[in-house]
Structure 1
Amino acid sequence: MFETGGGMAVQGQIFGGRYRLVGLLGEGGMGQVWEAQDETLDRPVAVKVVSLLAGGGSRGDEARARFLREARITAKLQHPAIVTIHDLGETDTGTDKVPFLVMELVRGEGLDATLRRGPVPLPDAARWGAHIADALTEAHDAGIMHRDIKPSNILITPSGTVKVLDFGIARAADPPVATADRLTQTGFIVGTPQYMAPEQARGFPEPRSDLYALGCLLFELITGRLPFQAPDAVGHLTAHLTEEPPAPSSMAPGIPPAWDDLVLTLLRKAPDRRYPDASALAQALRRLDRPAEPASPADAPTRTLAAPGTSPPPPRAAAPGRSNASTGVRRRTLVIGGLAVLGAAAGATAALWPDKHPDPDRFTSRGTTSVAFSPDGKTLATIGTAGVDAALWDVAGRKAITDLASGSGISTVAFSPDGKTLATAQVYGELQLRDTATGVVTAQLESGYYVQVVAFSPDGSTLILSGGSRPWLGLWNPVTPKPTAITDIAHGTTVLALSPDGKTLVSGNSDESTSAGLWVSDAITPGDSRTSEDPPLHERRLIQDYTNAVAFNPDGKTFASGGQGGLRLWNTAPDHTVTAITADPTSALAFSPDGKTLATAGKDGIRLWDTATHQATATLATGAFAAVAFSPDGRAVAGGNDDGCWLWNLR
């Protein structure tokens, strides 16, 4: 039976005709969790008694019906980091009808108990956070929000794995329509004020509200305190709505800048300024979790440049990604007219070792996965992890000009040949043309496709779009702007380069699919009447290997490719003979304007290569780097990693 007013179950009670309560495991504002014995299957289970929804009357009946409906949806979630729901039902106590859930019984400790002992080690926080993000990815893909990510809803098993509890319960208790007092009903707040995103506090949660809550939880895990201090629920809600959170490193010693960047990105007030989704967050957390191995003395660089006044930071390795089993980095590289304007990957902190040579300048301490110079070399575009923190920089003044990030984040950028226009694409298809000097959007179009690469033709008259797993290639008029041709190709495209004369297209795929590889074809032109209904372009696959970067030499006679199998140099025609330069996995690459030097980025740092002798001539930095680009005058190299964007002056 239930105690009067308390809605409490008692030991020995049987729920659903088969679940005998054995012992109370815990209780909170929503009800109790009991260890129980499933007498039908003879196994231990956990039974959550949701006393919050006890009671009669039409409102109680409606609330319980909504809870059972939502619980059935949530029960479809099957993921190692989500507690499995076995059964659900209602128990009639004579005076109350009380819903209950039957779940797998998981032994472990709640994060609330863990946090009572203080902050956790950073590797644990990164690993647990990634597992929680994995669970959120599974739920969000199924259209389910958690709405109450907090320490007591996270269980750490004895083996160190994570289990997320109570998916869908907060949603089930939420009113079906917005009201003036949407935050409260049936006597409780939908969500927990200490972890509640601003838009959720206003009554309009979305999937990235869960990411905000996880940001609060990560802040607490690494500092031992919440991002905002307040005496009551109203104070916490007010802080989430109006105050800027402090950097975690200002609250606790020894927290690296990369952690500040990640947590503060999650705690941004506007949802579209956070990570685009839980999957992107999981990748970012895994990059923080894996330490990189220091460079071997046998691989000592010819010359090495260092960040000013720095000692080598603690190295971390690249995260495991879909693109490359060896380096674990995701890449996007775009080359126009032989000059690399975009080289991208998700790398990690590099150890920059002191030397007598000039120190590199540091544009930003935020993680950088893509860099691109304007044709005049006066402006540098950078893209951060998952497309956030995209910006234009004044190279001479070493200062930010324009913030580019918007919506779901920038996937790729390209400067027009005259440098007056910047094309920025989002993965979900929106393409914006901006004035490079001001950053103001001058035109916008919806491609309707996943866009991962964009390039201007050498004369600037055409934009070439492609990307993702769907095999397509599109031409757009950047003046109108409107499509002029769309065609099917034989493979998805994650990297693309156009020859200086605009006649040859080299493209590659770094996804784990049968289309992974390097492809060469004749480029389509604006005059083509080809449509998606026509046969695919005639293409030749040169290698079947994850390809992360491609670039044409400015002389048009050779092009380079980089990927899991290393760095290769190819003749353009007629037989595309190849020379293997190094077997080290390569994430991004760029030719110097005179074509005599090739810069590469990867897990072993940024290197310079002589294109005639195929020998390494310099190592600018060691450790994992994600992006690299030559300045148009060949006097500088820009590189990006999880610690920021760097610029090396070569002479």
Structure 2
Amino acid sequence: REAKTLASLNHPNVAGIHGVDQVDDVCFLALELVPGEDLAARLSRGALPVDEAIDVCRQIAEGLEAAHEAGVVHRDLKPANVRVTPDGTVKVLDFGLAKPLHPKATQDGTSTAESDSFLVTEEGLVLGTPTYMSPEQARGKPVDRRTDIWAFGCVLFECLTGRRAFSGETFSDVLAAIVGSEADLDALPRSTPRHVRELIARCLVKSPRERLRDAGEARLALGRTDVADEPSEGRTATGRARTWAGGLVTGGVLASLAMLAFRGEPTSDSAAPRHVSVPLSPTPGLYEGATNTTNFAISPDGQCVAFVTKEDEGNASMLAVRNLTEPAARTLPGTEGAEMMFFSPD
């Protein structure tokens, strides 16, 4: 159903789907062959110039807006799924993980993705590429278009800085950074316009309720051509969840005065987030083969990570749990050979 919906899209910033077919139990899509270089390959050589980054991401936002209006959320937006053609047209690719936005739609379709992606669709487990996952996606909660907005913010940040907004040596490091740390907006080039900084901050708010809600807003923000909006040279407020009234104003004392003057009191979500700085290296011998959701899970409150570990090659794999407030993970006796772990809602 989602493939047929996407096939009906005719937008210059979305790669076309020419058909969907099935051989035995395997479903596959016939996709448009898009010439050019994918954005991940381009970013491997460094950040884009500010003007180019803004233009590329404006076109990404246009493609997302079209997909969202058709009722589809991508769920795996990342630079490798964006291609820039020789004439400068940007196309969003690989809706292989896409699902309808409506929760009652079918969820029994087969999905494909890269080996570093999580490939489970049921609630309580996670799906997507870890580095670009939203906090709710990493926790296995239901997702909607705001998950794509988060990933879009990560891509825009990476285009401008040449580095990922959230990273780590292991999957658990990345997931912990997503749910417990803030992107370093001070890493953005000094020539980045203030409204672009504000857009990234709004895209990367942890709470979906406070996050930018619409790709069309991102498109409009990146399409601004007014020269009065000078680059911001000060430190930028980094995505705390606040009531947005009149826009986000950043930088030093001006930020404090402006927020007192133009917005109401912060919501209960506006307290500064707790930063987790303890390295998340799990118990020695982390089973590095654990590259799918059957071997990783995050607790609903974001405080614990469960994963598969091996003490050595001669032993069976076991479950380990790491609380983000503790310096090390602990293995769980009696869990030899376990997989498909999940945290119960209670």
TM-score by length of 2: 0.61
Equivalent position amino acid for 1:136 in 2: L
Residue in structure 1 matched with residue 273 of structure 2 by the alignment? none
How many pairs align? 237
Please show how residues 181-200 of structure 1 align to structure 2 within 5 Å. Answer: 182-183=125-126, 190-200=127-137
Q: In structure 2, what is the Cα distance between the partners aligned to 1:251 and 1:164? A: 24
**Distance in structure 2 (CA, Å) of the matches to 1:175 and 1:211:** 21
Instruction: Supply the AA of the counterpart residue of 2:70.
Output: A
| Pairing partner for 1:275 from 212, 220, 226 | 212
Which of 7, 20, 27 matches 1:88?
A: 20
Counterparts of 2:135 and 2:260, CA distance in 1:
28
Kept after mapping to 2: 8 A contact 1:144/1:168: no
Q: 1:73 to 1:390 in 2, by over 3 A?
A: same
Structure 1 residues 591-644: Cα deviation after superposition (integer angstroms, max 9, x where no partner): xxxxxxxxxxxxxxxxxxxxxxxxxxxxxxxxxxxxxxxxxxxxxxxxxxxxxx
Query: Which of 151, 154, 175 is 1:237 aligned to?
Result: 175
Q: What displacement does 1:229 show?
A: 2.8
Q: Does 1:178 align with 2:58?
A: no
Residue type of the alignment partner of 1:245: A
Partner SS, residue 400 of structure 1: helix
Distance in 1 between the 2:71 and 2:218 partners? 18
- Cα drift, residue 216 of structure 1: 0.7
Q: 2:13–2:59: 8 Å Cα contact kept in structure 1?
A: yes
Rounded Cα–Cα distance in structure 2 between residues aligned with 1:221 and 1:390: 23
Q: Which residue of 1 is the match for residue 40 of structure 2?
A: 112
Distance in 2 separating the partners of 1:243 and 1:78: 38
Taking the TM superposition and a 5 Å limit, the aligned residue runs for 1:112-261 are 112-171=40-99, 172=109, 173=111, 177-179=122-124, 182-183=125-126, 190-203=127-140, 204-247=142-185, 249-250=186-187, 252-261=189-198
Q: What amino acid sits opposite 1:383 in the alignment?
A: G
Alpha carbons of 1:365 and 1:221: their partners in 2 closer, same or farther (altered >3 Å)?
closer
Query: 1:416 matched to which residue of 2?
Result: none
Matching of residues 553-564 of structure 1 within 5 Å:
none
Q: Distance in 1 between matches of 2:160 and 2:196?
A: 9
1:270, 1:90 → 2: CA distance? 38
Tell me which of the two structures has the higher relative contact order, counting C-alpha pairs closer than 8 angstroms and 6 or more residues apart: 2
**Separation in structure 2 between the aligned mates of residue 283 and residue 439 of structure 1, nearest angstrom:** 26
User: How big is the shift at 1:267?
Assistant: 0.9
- Distance in 1 (CA, whole Å) between partners of 2:266 and 2:181 is 28
Q: 1:284 aligns with which of 221, 228, 251?
A: 221
How far is 1:350 from its partner?
6.0
- Note if contact 2:39-2:80 (Cα within 8 Å) is conserved in structure 1: yes
Instruction: Indicate conservation of the 8 Å contact 1:88/1:102, yes or no.
Output: yes
SS in 1 for 2:13: coil
**Residue 177 of structure 2 aligns to which amino acid in structure 1?**
A
3-state SS of paired residue (2:68): helix
Higher strand share: 1
**Of the candidates 9, 20, 38, which is equivalent to residue 77 of structure 1?**
9
- What is the alpha-carbon distance in structure 2 between the residues aligned to residue 439 and residue 216 of structure 1? 25
- CA separation of 1:152 and 1:250: change in aligned 2, threshold 3 A: closer
After superposition, the Cα gap between the structure-2 partners of 1:214 and 1:105, relative to the gap in structure 1 and judged at 3 Å, is: same
- Partner Cα separation in structure 2 for residue 165 and residue 84 of structure 1: 8
Q: Secondary structure at the match of 2:10?
A: coil
Question: Structure 1-normalised TM-score?
Answer: 0.34
Q: Which runs of 5+ in 2 are unaligned?
A: 100-108, 112-118, 238-243, 268-346
Q: Partners in 2 of 1:216 and 1:350 — Cα distance?
A: 23
Could you report, residue by residue, the CA deviation over 1:83-122 in whole angstroms, capped at 9, with x for unpaired residues? 1111121235xxxx43321122221110011011110111
CA shift for structure 1 position 144: 0.5
Question: Do the aligned partners of 2:2 and 2:98 also contact (CA within 8 Å) in 1?
Answer: no
Q: What pairs up with 1:545-556 in 2 under 5 angstroms? A: none
1:606-621 alignment runs, 5 A limit = none
Query: Counterpart of 2:76 in 1: which secondary structure?
Result: coil
Residues 231 and 383 of structure 1: CA distance in aligned 2, closer, same or farther (over 3 Å): same
Given that 2:55 and 2:222 are in contact with CA atoms closer than 8 Å, whether structure 1 keeps it comes out as: yes
Distance 2:67 2:129 in 1: 19
For residues 68 and 4 of structure 2, the distance between their equivalents in structure 1, rounded to whole angstroms, comes to 16
Task: Decide whether the 8 Å contact of 1:110 with 1:155 is kept in 2.
Answer: yes
How far 1:73 sits from its partner (Å)? Answer: 2.6
**Contact persistence 1:220–1:226 (CA under 8 A):** yes
Distance 1:399 1:121 in 2: 31
- Percent identity over paired residues: 38
Cα distance in 2 between the residues matched to 1:105 and 1:229: 31
Deviations 1:226-268 (A, max 9, x none): 1123002221111110111111x43555434333222122111
Q: Distance in 2 between matches of 1:232 and 1:439?
A: 35
Bigger helix share: 2
| Residue from 223, 246, 260 that aligns with 1:383 | 246
- Alpha-carbon deviation of 1:205? 1.4
Q: 1:201 to 1:76 in 2, by over 3 A?
A: same
- The 2-side partners of 1:227 and 1:175 are apart by 24
Question: Whole-Å Cα distance in 2 between the matches of residues 103 and 210 of structure 1?
Answer: 21
> Judging changes above 3 Å, is the alpha-carbon distance between structure 1 residues 176 and 382 closer, same or farther for their aligned structure 2 residues?
closer
Once the 2 structures are TM-superposed, how far is the Cα of residue 168 of structure 1 from its aligned partner?
Answer: 4.8
Q: Distance in 2 between matches of 1:399 and 1:87?
A: 52
Q: How far apart are 1:167 and its partner, in Å?
A: 2.0
Cα 1:285–1:251 change in 2 (3 A) is closer
Shift of 1:170: 4.5
CA contact (8 A) 2:145 2:213 kept: no
CA contact (8 A) 1:71 1:169 kept: no
AA matched with 1:162: V
Deviation at 1:403, TM superposition (A): 7.5
The answer (yes or no) to whether the contact 1:74–1:168 under 8 Å persists in 2 is: no
- 1:227 is paired with a residue of what secondary structure? coil
Q: Give 2:28's aligned residue.
A: 100
Give me the whole-angstrom Cα distance separating, in 2, the residues matched to 1:142 and 1:165.
16
User: Residues 525-604 of structure 1 correspond to what in structure 2 (within 5 A)?
Assistant: none
- Summarize the Cα distance change of 1:258–1:105 in structure 2 as closer, same or farther, 3 Å threshold: same
